[in-house]
Structure 1
Amino acid sequence: MKKKWIWIISGVVIVLLIINFAAAIFFYHLAVERNVKDFLNGNADLEVEAETLDVLLDGDWRDWSDEQPFEIWHQTSFDGLDLQGYYLEAEQPTNKVVLFAHGYLGRGKDMALYGQHYYEDLGYNIFTADMRGHGESEGDYIGFGWHDRLDLINWIAQVIERVGDDAEIVLHGVSMGGSTVLMASGEELPANVKAIVADASYTDVNDLFAYHLDRMFHLPSFPFIPSTSLVTQIRAGYGLKEASALDQVAKAEVPILYIHGKEDVFVPTEMTEKLYDNTGSEKELLLVDDASHGESFVKEEERYKETLDRFLERFVQEN
């Protein structure tokens, strides 16, 4: 009888392990693997007001971007991927450059929404890239900022080579891009990087996945998040806890401006507040009323620009 129960329990454990592993592969395919993300269609957490949607989809900034003579740049990443970027030289010679990092499922030129202000009002050179697994860049997985931070550092080197050793660089990212620039902040950045702007950022990928696993599927973190992390480590080369903006900002030396919408439930506002509290460098925080995920610029454009401009004036000098 005892042996029978051992076999039954062993069988149940094996079945549960198989289910857990299958779920981990499913969640990796759902979120990390490069493919069409139908699960985001109709996601209430990503809903924005109709006026905001009009700006994001059909705003004048898109026409402005299409009219600009962007140069196409390339880099070969540390793991052999061909990545594509876009450089726009300022109308007047300047050593000021903004490097953008876009959000999940986006493209580099989506950041023209912010780039037009840097270019027309602040006179910056602009660089933006399709992150690995996005747009015209290679990659069969999404890095969620972790491997992308190293790609960003390589782009910084190319920008300095183009603009000169006196280049004054700002890193500006939104959503996944915001976490990317924060993950880069903990690395040994060149002194040319003077300021970082992180809009709607998450603390780390482990926390983000756990949050959405509960919110979207009503499932506990354990055992699904650790097993998904293992699959991600095997297939993409990084673990979910490893990909931590929270750990990186504690080592940051570059000043950071944090921005987040108070009504963001896709990446909860509390994550930016936690990042802010954990930041080792000079920092500033702007929370925008009535703004959901990535909506702050559109909802409070003038306040966003004024806060950004004041922050940049403190740390970026034109030579």
Structure 2
Amino acid sequence: MKRRFLYITGIIGSIYTAILTLLGYHAANRLMFMKLKDHDLIVRREIIAKRFDEHWYETVRKEDFWVNSPNEYRLRAVFLQPLETTRTMIICHGVTENKINSIKYARLFERLGFNSVIYDHRRHGDSGGKTTSFGFYEKVDLHAIVSAVRNRIGSRALLGIHGESMGAATTILYAGEFEEDADFYIADCPFSDFSKQILHILRTSTPFRTSMTLRVANLFLKIRDGYTTSLISPREAIQNIKKPMLFIHSMEDRFILPEMTKELYDLKEGKKMLRLFDKGAHAMSFNENPEEYEQEVLRFLHHFGFTDA
């Protein structure tokens, strides 16, 4: 009887382990190869919403250029120069999007007196790279983009970085790890800790509510892509950032909770501002509140002496 019990227990344990391994492998795959939005779909969406003016984009003075990533692929970037100025913004889009989604912010900053550099993250748009790493490798890419932009505008030119969602987390990770070569940052709906964010998604969108799936997924991530989710932690990086930062989030966001931005704001020392909008789902603060969003950015720039407006 005892042997039979041990035999059955062993079978159940083996099945459980096999299922957990499959779930972990699948979760790691979903992270590394998250389905990207179709380029034409993004273009149509932005045109219909009147956030992308094709005529403006075709006629504006611009420079298409490539940046070599230290991760051994090339990044596609576009330097939009509608103004005679060296004041420049680098704009980092969110996961599954591409640089077309950044044009709405480029137009905002144009109105505020800045040219902009938009670019595709690794594995997105026209850029190279085989996997998405939610900031782990993207922060190194951003460092390369910043260096390339500095070479174009000069060491004394005013340079800011705006990031949305994964782009905001990437901005924080970059600024916290590398010597800061930008003058200010705007972080729109970043996550504060990637492990915590993945657990939130698992518990709200799947039947797998334990951390065990994430632990197994991390094993596959480490083997296949060289990192674990615990290494993607803006909450740790934010404590090293000295330059001014504007934090933005929407209270209706259920994908990345606004509490994460509040946490980052509290952890950031020195010069900072926070704006929480009542309206807007994830990464929709600007779309739902365009005028208020622009005024908040202007107030931030004016408060810290980056504009005379």
> Is the structural similarity TM-score above 0.5?
yes
Query: In structure 2, what residue type is equivalent to 1:85?
Result: A
Residue 99 of structure 1: which of 90, 105, 120 is its match?
A: 90
Give 1:27 shift: 1.4
2:135 touches 2:173 (CA, 8 Å); kept in 1?
yes
Residue 216 of structure 1: which of 178, 201, 205 is its match?
A: 205
Query: In structure 2, what residue type is equivalent to 1:18?
Result: A
**2:108 matched to which residue of 1?**
117
Give 1:29 shift: 2.3
Mapped partners of 1:293, 1:79: distance in 2: 29
Query: TM-score, normalising length from structure 2?
Result: 0.90
Query: TM-score, normalising length from structure 1?
Result: 0.87
What does residue range 206-285 of structure 1 map to in structure 2 within 5 Å? Answer: 206-285=195-274
Moved more, 102-111 or 55-64: 55-64
**1:146 matched to which residue of 2?**
136
**1:70 matched to which residue of 2?**
62
1:34 touches 1:139 (CA, 8 Å); kept in 2?
no
SS at structure 2 position matched to 1:106: coil
**1:89 matched to which residue of 2?**
81
Mapped partners of 1:203, 1:301: distance in 2: 25
Mapped partners of 2:76, 2:213: distance in 1: 34
SS at structure 2 position matched to 1:135: coil
Q: Deviations over 1:160-192 (max 9, x none)?
A: 1111121221010111111111111212334x4
Instruction: Name the CA shift for 1:224/1:66 in 2 (closer, same or farther; >3 Å).
Output: farther
Moved more, 53-62 or 297-306: 53-62
Instruction: Name the CA shift for 1:159/1:175 in 2 (closer, same or farther; >3 Å).
Output: same
SS at structure 1 position matched to 2:254: coil
Q: Does 1:183 align with 2:173?
A: yes
Mapped partners of 1:61, 1:36: distance in 2: 20
Give 1:295 shift: 1.5
**2:33 matched to which residue of 1?**
33
Moved more, 130-139 or 276-285: 276-285
Q: Does 1:174 align with 2:150?
A: no
Give 1:90 shift: 4.2
Mapped partners of 1:144, 1:57: distance in 2: 29
Query: In structure 2, what residue type is equivalent to 1:164?
Result: G
Moved more, 54-63 or 287-296: 54-63
Give 1:219 shift: 1.7
Give 1:36 shift: 5.0
Unaligned residue ranges in structure 1 (runs of 5+): 39-52
SS at structure 2 position matched to 1:285: strand
Q: Deviations over 1:208-228 (max 9, x none)?
A: 111111111132232101111
Mapped partners of 1:68, 1:221: distance in 2: 51
2:86 touches 2:157 (CA, 8 Å); kept in 1?
yes
Q: Does 1:297 align with 2:286?
A: yes
Mapped partners of 1:315, 1:182: distance in 2: 21
Mapped partners of 1:78, 1:2: distance in 2: 59
Residue 145 of structure 2: which of 155, 158, 161 is its match?
A: 155
**2:41 matched to which residue of 1?**
none
SS at structure 1 position matched to 2:88: strand
Mapped partners of 1:60, 1:226: distance in 2: 40
Unaligned residue ranges in structure 2 (runs of 5+): 39-43
Give 1:22 shift: 0.7
SS at structure 2 position matched to 1:287: strand
SS at structure 2 position matched to 1:284: strand
Residue 135 of structure 1: which of 118, 121, 125 is its match?
A: 125
Q: Deviations over 1:242-284 (max 9, x none)?
A: 1111111122112110000111111111111111112134211
2:90 touches 2:162 (CA, 8 Å); kept in 1?
yes
Mapped partners of 1:317, 1:8: distance in 2: 72
Give 1:305 shift: 1.0
**1:310 matched to which residue of 2?**
299
Mapped partners of 1:22, 1:68: distance in 2: 50
Tell me the matched-pair count: 301
Q: Deviations over 1:55-105 (max 9, x none)?
A: 67431434233443432221222221122111122421x231101100111
